[in-house]
Amino acid sequence: MSALRILVPVKRVIDYAVKPRVNKTQSAVETAGVKHSMNPFDELSVEEAVRIREKKRAAGGVEDICAISAGPAKAQDILRTAMAMGADRGIHVEVKEGDDLEPLTVAKMLQKAVEKEKSNLVILGKQSIDDDAAQTGPMLAGLLGWPQATQASKIEFGEGDSVTVTKEVDGGVETVRARLPLVVTTDLRLNEPRYASLPNIMKAKKKKLDKVTLGDFGLENEKRLKVVRVTEPPARQGGGKVENVDGLIGKLKELGAL
Amino acid sequence: MLPTARQLLARPRLGLVTSSLHLATGRSGRFLSTLAILEQRDGQLNAGSLSALTAAAKLGGTVHGFIAGSKASAAAEQAAKVGGVEQIITVDNEAYEKGLAENYAPLLVENIKKGSYTHVITGHTAFGKNVAPRLAALLDSQQISDVTSIEDEKTFVRPIYAGNAIATVESSDAVKILTIRGTAFAPAVPDSGKASIVQGVDPKAGSTSEWVSENLAKSDRPDLATASKVVSGGRGLKSKEDFDKVMLPLADALGAAVGASRAAVDSGYADNSLQVGQTGKVVAPQLYMAVGISGAIQHLAGMKDSKVIAAINKDADAPIFQVADVGLVGDLFANVPELTEKVKAGQ
């Protein structure tokens, strides 16, 4: 079995616990001064890559775990977190603050990175919690012509580069099998990401972090979608409380729900 | 039981759009044609995927449907009865039955090229999320995911940040690929339409992945994604036994589907496929009853478009009460069985 060279794309997003606010000009969500963290699904990707190595799950072993992120300078914090969790090195694709990339551009960038880094397994989150697109993984697989296993809750390595993945689908789970090279996207049930320990955070500061630009990959930030406006969703007003079950039934009947 | 109320709603709206179909095409000056990709299993149409036909009709222009699988023709006959649909394209080949993206996406590319479609629509379901982005990449198109509203042929509305913001975007792509939120477009109703059924192109592309098995939760209750009533349990249920003992009788008394919060799923009280929220299912039933669910933003993302929200929680300060139309502060283990009995007695 081939040794694994795992590429783990990670994204810096507004922390999941923060309630996002639309900016005054209704052009985007306010990001200045807001807590950011690694996209939760990407933490699962890093954790899985590290576990594959630690538990020696793949017969060929893990030769390299490379985290990659496109974003402003602060995206490096996210890459350091990935390295503190166990990634060997990082690649930062510098993009100006506020100059977000569309998933298709990210997929094209990752395609180039895969070719350059000779990756044979890419583990991505199933979606980022900011734009909720859920596109980059399958787009990358399509561009590379590789098989894909989306919304993975279990990844097992077999003989001769075969990988069996259990996927979360509507109504239950589905199991598919493919051969390396492969693109996998992670679902919540895949694992529980570790916290980076202080010594590992210190060690991560010494790990290699390359800086590149989209131009180095022969790409530019092409926008296919124009954001016309971003608005707050219509607010929902609580309708008050009732004293007991009879009150509940009465109110539901009044609202036509029973 | 199918959500009849919603289907009734679908009719007049579909009719309206269909009658203005030629006008819309004339105004835009460019021929619009949309391919709606329908999901099927063993020749049975997935009811939720009929929403793609409703969304397609909203664009104006020609509407074609696409179905592939081992018994695609059987499903095609159902879909052909949807009014306003001109043609259903089928590819009968077992290789596409499981919707493996590796061969399904190239299959779509061939049929989209042949039909010169300007728009391709499928549901934002596990299938749509798997296949559509791969297709989009092959066509070099920036997909628009989880669309909740179509403003015109190039302008679409979609929620971002777990539904905490609503983005309106304009696409400049030649072929626009959309996945749509099923709850935002009522499923089209197969009625007295007479679309022609034609065989599609089959490039017979091999798949680089193989389907091994599936394990689907079997249930006689309504499907969560399309049910008109949903009762959902959270961490407050304490155990799987209690979840089953408290929630299932209530669901049955109401004729509701069962949902769960992430906490309940992670704790093993309910199956993963029942999770409602940003990372699970998005539902918008007539009635959503949240039991023992605090109401984190990730959960609200999956249910806050419900018509009526009811909450039962012992914590009077739980955020769920800020969105609930009716809230009951109290012990769910006493209140839910009482509610179940009274609902049953009222029938």
Looking at the structure, tell me whether residues B128 and B235 fall in a common domain.
no
Residue B66 counted as domain residue: yes
Give start and end residues of each alpha helix (H) in chain A: 40-54, 75-85, 103-117, 136-144, 198-204, 245-254
* B175 neighbourhood in chain A, CB within 8 Å: none
Looking at the structure, tell me whether residues B69 and B153 fall in a common domain.
yes
pLDDT in tens, A160-174: 999 999 999 988 999
**CB contact (8 A) between residue A242 and residue B271:** no
Looking at the structure, tell me whether residues B183 and B248 fall in a common domain.
no
Looking at the structure, tell me whether residues B299 and B160 fall in a common domain.
no
Q: How far apart are alpha carbons B332 and B89 in whole angstroms? A: 50
What tokens were used for B283?
């539902």
Q: How far apart are alpha carbons B39 and A188 in whole angstroms? A: 25
Mutate which of A25, A176, A179 to test chain B, going by most B C-beta atoms within 10 A?
A176
* Secondary structure (3-state) at A121: strand
Looking at the structure, tell me whether residues B180 and B252 fall in a common domain.
no
Residue whose structure tokens are 């012992």: B314
What tokens were used for A22?
């639309």
Distances from the Cα of A102 to the Cα of A26, A77, B143, B152, B246, angstroms: 19, 21, 10, 21, 45
Looking at the structure, tell me whether residues B173 and B283 fall in a common domain.
no
Residue whose structure tokens are 């955070």: A201
Amino acid letter, B179: T
Q: How far apart are alpha carbons B131 and B154 in whole angstroms? A: 21
Looking at the structure, tell me whether residues B270 and B195 fall in a common domain.
no
**CB contact (8 A) between residue B273 and residue A170:** yes
Q: CATH number of the domain that B318 lies in? A: 3.40.50.1220
State the residue range of the domain holding B111.
33-199
From first to last of its 258 residues, chain A has per-residue pLDDT tens of: 799 999 999 999 999 999 999 999 999 999 999 999 999 999 999 999 999 999 999 999 999 999 999 999 999 999 999 999 999 999 999 999 888 999 999 999 999 999 999 999 999 999 999 999 999 999 999 999 999 999 999 999 999 999 999 999 988 999 999 999 999 999 999 999 999 999 999 999 999 999 999 999 999 999 999 999 999 999 888 888 999 999 999 999 999 999
Amino acid letter, A47: E
Looking at the structure, tell me whether residues B236 and B184 fall in a common domain.
no
Q: Report A:131-170 residues touching B (Cβ under 8 A).
A: 131-143, 145-151, 153, 164, 167-170
Q: CATH number of the domain that B66 lies in? A: 3.40.50.620
Q: Which among B182, B199, B216 is the end of a domain? A: B199
Contacts of B107 (CB under 8 A, 6+ apart): B68, B91, B96, B200, B201, B202, B203, B205
**How many structural domains does chain B have?**
2
Annotated binding-site residue? B134: no
Residue whose structure tokens are 């934002």: B124
Q: How far apart are alpha carbons B140 and B241 in whole angstroms? A: 50
* pLDDT at residue A180 in the model: 97
**CB contact (8 A) between residue A247 and residue B214:** no
Q: Does A239 touch chain B (CB under 8 A)?
A: yes
- CA atoms A68, A132, B299, B269: torsion sign: negative
* pLDDT at residue B205 in the model: 86
Mutate which of B158, B171, B176, B208 to test chain A, going by most A C-beta atoms within 10 A?
B208
- CA atoms B191, B196, B199, B205: torsion sign: negative
Question: Across the interface, which of A138, A143, A176 has its CB nearest the CB of B210?
Answer: A176
Question: Across the interface, which of B162, B216, B304 has its CB nearest the CB of A129?
Answer: B162
Residue whose structure tokens are 């009526």: B308
Q: How far apart are alpha carbons A131 and B321 in whole angstroms? A: 27
From first to last of its 347 residues, chain B has per-residue pLDDT tens of: 444 444 444 444 443 444 444 444 444 446 899 999 999 998 999 888 899 999 999 999 999 999 999 999 999 999 999 999 999 999 999 999 999 999 999 999 999 999 999 999 999 999 999 999 999 999 999 999 999 999 999 999 999 999 999 999 999 999 999 999 999 999 999 999 999 999 999 999 889 999 999 999 888 899 998 899 999 999 999 999 999 999 999 999 999 999 999 999 999 999 999 999 998 999 999 999 999 999 999 999 999 999 999 999 999 999 999 999 999 999 999 999 999 999 999 86
* A107 neighbourhood in chain B, CB within 8 Å: 137
Nearest CA in chain A to B305: A236
